[in-house]
Amino acid sequence: MSARTATPRAERMTARAWGLLLVLSGAIFLEGIDVSMMGVALPSIRAELGMSTSSLQWVVSAYVLGYGGFVLLGGRAADLLGRRRMFLVWLVVFVAFSGLGGFAEDGWVLILARFVTGVAAAFLAPAGLSIITTMFAEGPVRNRAVLVYAGAAAGGFSLGMLTGGLLTAIGWRWVFFAPVVVAAAILIAAIVLIPREERRERTAGGFDIPGTLTLTGAMLLLVITVVHAPEVAIGTTLVTLAGAAVLFAAFVRIERRSAAPLVRLGILRSAPLLRANAGAMLLVGAFMAFQLVAVLYMQELRGWSTVQTGLALAVAGIDAVLAPTLTPVLVNRFGNRRVLTAGMVLAVLAYLLFLPVGAAWSFWAMLPAFLVLGLAFTLAYGPLTIAATDGVADEEQGLASGLLTTSFQFGAALGLAIVTAVIVAATADASPEAVLEGYRAGLLVPVGAAAIGALLMVTGLRRTGR
């Protein structure tokens, strides 16, 4: 294809530029709210569809595995096939399969719909962000656009817990139908506001489909292995674990030989990058494990309504306000690594505060844990993003960002899988006392994950100091 003049970039925030930014921010807000809403709705879904604890976690895990497994391919597709086209096409897919989830009468239909919705999000997110970085001029205008975009993502995740509670009070299917309405409105606005791209020279290389499939399959098989470990024979667990290892090895082999690999393996020689991605997996995995235990405790053991549960968990969403205001000041004053380390340590403290949960804890007894958790995310989430891309060459910034997104999503799925396996194994019977003991055992998962993450950050801080 012949090259033409580059699409002009916005040098200032005009009304049309704000409209474009709001459309793209609306999409990432929708992706964030879609994940967190589901956590509050899980008990209601279980009650109507008769899903077990092991199968219930797949409602969330299927989404994050689809997202994490395909996001690197999504970025490549946006570059080769056009960012506007990818954004619009996959927004339609997002609408269709979110609606299908709302009509599901069987657990497997719901899980399948969630997986495809996650794949759609994996193509939407890099397309939306790359539209911002190409449509807004570098400097203050782009910085403002990126901050608004990132704030929308954080706000969606935080508000999703409250929104999920309110919608589930009407009926859990509205957790699926409401995003359809919002996404349809975003789609109409996107068709009008996202400018058509000029033709450009064909980019060398193609799509690494084998790499995508082996990476997603390996992550999927590993989660299946962990979830079902308490319920199957040790031989079956070892076989599926070996299968996951084989797929990971196949992925590495494919990436070494591919002309256009998903991941240039040489980038993984960077110790700070590996430490940041491991920290991302542990931070989000710990939170998703904690959220599942907290929701099951409040709704199924305590009998709280979905609205009460959403309001209680929304306290942890103070990071949506503090992250864009407080964190930049602290990073400038104390440095990124120190702030990040403090955030990981606070995460450990938050989960420890919730660990001795009793059979009749009030909201006020839980409040300190929720507040400290919100502060932990305020200090850790943004600095992790900086740490994962710091020192990476300009031409590989997209790859570093994609790796971080994959780590976040895979960490979420793995955290849910491990805590589910622990709860199932630790719950001897259905008595309230046994269930509470199972939840306490499950809380050891976020405590342990956050502690490992904090140790990694402290080790990195000491090495930097030396």
Which of the listed ranges 54-58, 75-79, 167-171, 366-370 does the model predict with the highest average pLDDT? 366-370
Distance, in Å, from the CA atom of 439 to the CA atom of 297, rounded to the nearest integer, reads 7
Domain ranges (residues) in the chain: 14-195, 209-261, 266-460
DSSP SS3 for 193:
helix
Cα torsion angle, 261, 267, 268, 272, sign: negative
Residue 381, pLDDT score: 81
Place of tokens 């997002």: 94
Res. 151 pLDDT band, cuts 50 70 90:
low
The pLDDT of 54-72, averaged and rounded, is 83
Same fold, 14-195 and 266-460: yes
| Domain 14-195 coded CATH 3.40.50.620 | no
Of residues 372, 396, 391, 335, the one with CA closest to residue 450:
372
143, pLDDT greater than 70: no
Given pLDDT bands bounded at 50, 70 and 90, which one contains residue 107?
A: confident
| 191-238 residue pLDDT tens | 988 888 765 555 555 678 888 889 888 888 888 888 777 777 888 888
Contact indicator for 79, 203 with CB cutoff of 8 Å:
yes
Instruction: Identify which of 171, 130, 223, 163 has the alpha carbon closest to the alpha carbon of residue 37.
Output: 163
Dihedral in degrees, nearest 10, Cα atoms 412, 416, 422, 426: 140
d(CA 169, CA 308): 10
**For residues 214 and 252, what is the distance between their CA atoms, to the nearest angstrom?**
9
- Least Cα distance to 243 among 213, 218, 260, 210 occurs for 218
Percentage of the chain modeled with pLDDT above 70? 90
Specify the residue for token string 């992250």.
Answer: 323
**What CA–CA distance (Å, rounded) separates 439 from 434?**
9
Rounded distance between C-alpha atoms, residue 453 and residue 196, angstroms = 43
pTM of the model: 0.80
At 283 the pLDDT is 93
Please state the rounded mean pLDDT for residues 76-83.
79
DSSP class of 369: H
State the pLDDT confidence band at 1, using cuts at 50, 70 and 90: very low
Q: Which residues are registered as beta bridge partners of 136? A: 10
Q: How far is CA 275 from CA 251, 280, 288, 340, 449, in A?
A: 21, 9, 20, 12, 14
Which residues, including other chains, have CB under 8 Å from residue 68's CB and lie 6 or more apart?
118, 122, 216, 219, 405, 406, 407, 408, 409, 410, 412, 413
pLDDT band of 139, cuts 50, 70, 90:
low
**73 vs 141: which has the higher pLDDT:** 73
The CA distances from residue 461 to 58, 318, 331, 338, 360, in Å, are 36, 26, 14, 7, 41
Q: How far, CA to CA in Å, does 277 sit from each of 273, 402, 456?
A: 6, 11, 11
Q: By the 8 A CB rule, do 64 and 157 touch? A: no
Mean pLDDT across the stretch 428-437?
Answer: 82
DSSP conformation class of 333: H
Q: How far is CA 128 from the centre of its chain?
A: 16
Overall residue count recorded for the chain in this entry: 466
What single-letter amino acid sits at 54? S
CB 307 within 8 A of CB 169: yes
Task: Indicate the average pLDDT of the chain.
Answer: 83
pLDDT band at 120 (very low <50, low <70, confident <90, very high): very high
Residue 5: pLDDT over 50? no
pLDDT category at 2 given cuts 50, 70, 90 is very low
What is the domain class of 266-460 according to CATH? Answer: mainly alpha
**Distance from C-alpha of 128 to C-alpha of 31, rounded to nearest angstrom:** 12
When computed from its CA atoms, the radius of gyration of the chain, rounded to whole angstroms, is 22
Instruction: Please report the pLDDT score of residue 364 as a whole number.
Output: 95
311 CB-contact burial (10 Å; exposed 0-12 / middle 13-18 / buried 19+): middle
Count of Cβ atoms closer than 10 Å to residue 360 Cβ? 8
Write down the pLDDT at residue 249.
93
- Spatial separation of the C-alpha atoms in residues 205 and 195, rounded to whole Å: 26
